[in-house]
Chains A and B, each alone.
Chain A
Amino acid sequence: MRYAETGFNLEVDLTRGNIERVESDPRDTELYLGGLGTSAKILWDRVPPETEPFSPDNLLIFSAGLLCGTPATGCNRTIVSTVSPQTRLMAFSMMGGFWAPELKYAGYDKVILRGKSPDLVYLWINNDKVEIRDATHLRGKGTVETAELIRQELNEPKAQVAAIGLAGENRVYFASIEQGRSSASRGGIGAVMGDKGVKAIAVRGTKDINVAQPAEFMALCNEVLKYIKFRNENPIPGVMPILAGLGSPQEMKVHDEKWHTENFMWGNSRVRRKDFWNEEVAKQWAETLDNMRTRLISCFNCPMTCGATISPPGLPTYMMKCFSKLTYTMAAFSDLEFGLGIAQSATEYGVDGFSTPQVMAFALELYENGILTDDDFPGMPSDNEGRFYWLLDRIVRREGIGDALANGTYWAAKQIGKGAEAYAHNNIKKHEQLPLKLSMLNPIYFLMYSTGEKINITQIEGQFPQAPWPTREEREEFAKDWFQVPDEKFKQILLDWEPRGEKSMPYYPTVEMCCDIVDWQERMHYIDDALGMCSGLSSFPLKPPYHIHNYPKFISAGAGIDMDEEKLTQAIKRYRTLVRAFNIGRGMRRKDDKPPENHWKKRFPELEKELLDTYYELKGWNSQGIPTKESLHELGLDYVAEDFEKRGIYSEEGTPSSETLAEEYKVKGGNRHG
């Protein structure tokens, strides 16, 4: 019997309309765990580097995590992976909600889509019965709307539906997949879904998920719940409220947005408004949120209430969480009422809440600077808010200038030319980042921005405090019950770390310490991505209930795989390296491992070089960021080394030939029919 996982994947060939239920190899679970780990293996095996994102040969994999469907609190993530049309690298965006557990109860760990459907379809997975159904009547419908229509049509209110909107159908490079109150939105995976002609996947399951050691597993779950209660009652002192507790940053709860609005940038990640927050704004925004927010809600089997149902006046209700609360507001220099209102349209269209506002602010900046002109904006309203609504519509329909903008700032700038590139200034690996511009280099964040292959800072940071408490007493207080550390040395680093003076940034923590801190932070995210755990209970917050010490026990008791910290760390390193290898195959090299040029004003080139060199070495990568033969061998990934040999990747000298895949790509993304 397979434990925690079902042991079966659904293989769907959309071109031929063929569906197969295929047993997976339990040895792969031991080596790559599940979720991202086993998906990365499938992508490596079956999607060679020549594969275009919009080729029928590209795979789109919806995977439940290894422990989804067990009683492990907060374990509900769907990991969607494919080749991103925007970065042209592996995208592995995750969504919470209710979809992954339902898929497990239906009897599957993954849904693997290949080929392209000639017409728009949706997939209906009802336990053993799986159908490809016509979705032409759903063309152009919103994501939330689609989910409701499908549930009605199937007469199955309990079906969980992951759907794309107009943006996905039109292959917008930052189109999302929306589901319940969650979305998998980074990297443009919704565009790949649209390219495959799949409007939605609906799933309903009523089967069992077994665990290997029931009593032990339940005891672990109860411990986690107990610790969540403890942490809810004992927020971390001396840090800003959103870092004090557990869960995703509690944006739906907090009214005080002084920190975000005064420290993050407005517009096209340009303007810092240091005196923005005042009593009047506070009052107005609190009123807006209180009036629109119906209820705080959670994902499957989680008490954290990070999300909310939002009902803007005169608009349909939708669900929201986290920082998309402010991204539209700040991009448009507007207020919360506007932000929550336009987010309703954006959710229905199915677009990413980070990239989209920046793309629109970028367009208006080009307009203000004469690079785009009135001819590019026929019929655009003159008021600021109206412009954003107008631009959103053009983008998701790929109409006029919207067709270029729909490819994101990097590709749009190339297409537009005339110096537009300088305005696409907030990208890493062609992907729009959080709007932050800071003064002095932070070496820990430098490494995370540079090497994080999910290409999103929130998906690698966590665990280690962002800044030292001013006094040693405060640091001691924090360290005293900090049992989540993988090694006692991390406590000492924190204790010695000062805001100013000799033991302060950028030279303290030392290069080696920074590398260890980043490696630990990243490791936790990669475990979550394989197990399907919400990072809000594990890798993201300080002092989380899941950590490197209890995870091996969860895997042993849950999946029946004999696991300890060392074996787990090795497994994570294995599939993390495989993600790297996949991207190396697609042309990514050291030159791509860098933050936006203007992220920090004060840079330290020598230190940065040393940081990257040392981190690469720790990871088992050579100076170009390519996993070495030796490290691949140690991880049992000789097949990767052989492939690299065959492709001549190791014989490159100095500057790699990697411009090939990443750059020569035809800039014109265009319509499905274009």
Chain B
Amino acid sequence: MIEKPDVLQGTLALMVLKTLDLIGQQHGYGIARRIEQISGDLLDVNQGTLYPLLLKLEHEGSIASQWGTSENNRRARFYRLTAAGRKQLQTETRDWEQTAAIIARFFNVKAEDLA
């Protein structure tokens, strides 16, 4: 089994948190579907790997879960963001934006700018 690089793992967690932030309470399939929709096929994850990640986030206290009934009347486990998760999302979003901005600046530099 090939381990996913850490960046991707970290990003996936961030995506899960953001998704839950956007749509509120959601079950695993819904989260996977939404991530797929937003990222297109760019992020071709094995959707099953989402579940260990959800468990980890739950252990860390960022999300909470409970059984409920889905839109087509099936028993499903629903995940929602906790207060701690919301805070975490905020900090991580800020960090991510900062990093992205710095990287973007590096990519935008042209040789003549440095002269």
Is B one of A's binding partners? no
Q: Enumerate chain A interface residues (CB-CB to B < 8 A).
A: none
Q: Enumerate chain B interface residues (CB-CB to A < 8 A).
A: none
